């Protein structure tokens, strides 16, 4: 994070380590402009520039905890339940992937 040669843009549950050749989002203002930046609001899950810090994973865990309450509510409308269940499964996958990638015994 302290490396000045990296262009880092924090987002919700993710951190963009920006490299325009591999960016999948809309870039602003344009590729031929030296001020080009990523559009983190339109971040694409498959982009190779995505990194996740422990803080990002904590954000995902908090969202997952809220979603677990929603999907456990049997009175929740079916359409909402399905949407939230899919989002929860995605978050759990990201969290598990992050935890598998940790060094043995490490917490970061
Ligand atoms: S898609 Fe996301 S990770 Fe990729 S460059 Fe854009 S904001 Fe960064």
pLDDT in tens, 31-81: 666 678 888 888 998 999 999 999 999 999 999 999 999 999 888 888 989
C-alpha torsion angle, residues 29, 18, 46, 92 (rounded to 10): -120
The average confidence (pLDDT) of the chain is: 86
Q: Helix axis angle, 54-72 relative to 78-100, nearest 10°?
A: 150
Helix, coil or strand: residue 103: coil
71 CB within 6 A, ligand 1 = no
44 CB within 6 A, ligand 1 = yes
Q: For residue 108, is pLDDT > 50?
A: no
23 CB within 6 A, ligand 1 = yes
Higher-pLDDT residue of 30, 18 = 18
Q: State phi, psi for 15 to the nearest 5 degrees.
A: -130, 130
pLDDT at 105: 47
């Amino acid at each position: 994070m302290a490396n000045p040669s990296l262009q880092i843009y924090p987002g919700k549950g993710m951190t963009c380590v920006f490299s325009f050749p591999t960016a999948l989002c809309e870039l602003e203002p344009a590729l031929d402009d030296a001020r080009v930046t990523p559009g983190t609001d339109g971040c694409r899950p498959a982009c190779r520039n995505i990194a996740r810090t422990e803080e990002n994973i904590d954000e995902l865990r908090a969202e997952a905890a809220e979603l677990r309450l929603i999907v456990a509510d049997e009175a929740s409308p079916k359409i909402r339940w399905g949407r939230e269940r899919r989002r929860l499964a995605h978050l759990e996958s990201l969290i598990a992937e992050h935890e598998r990638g940790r060094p043995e015994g490490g917490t970061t």
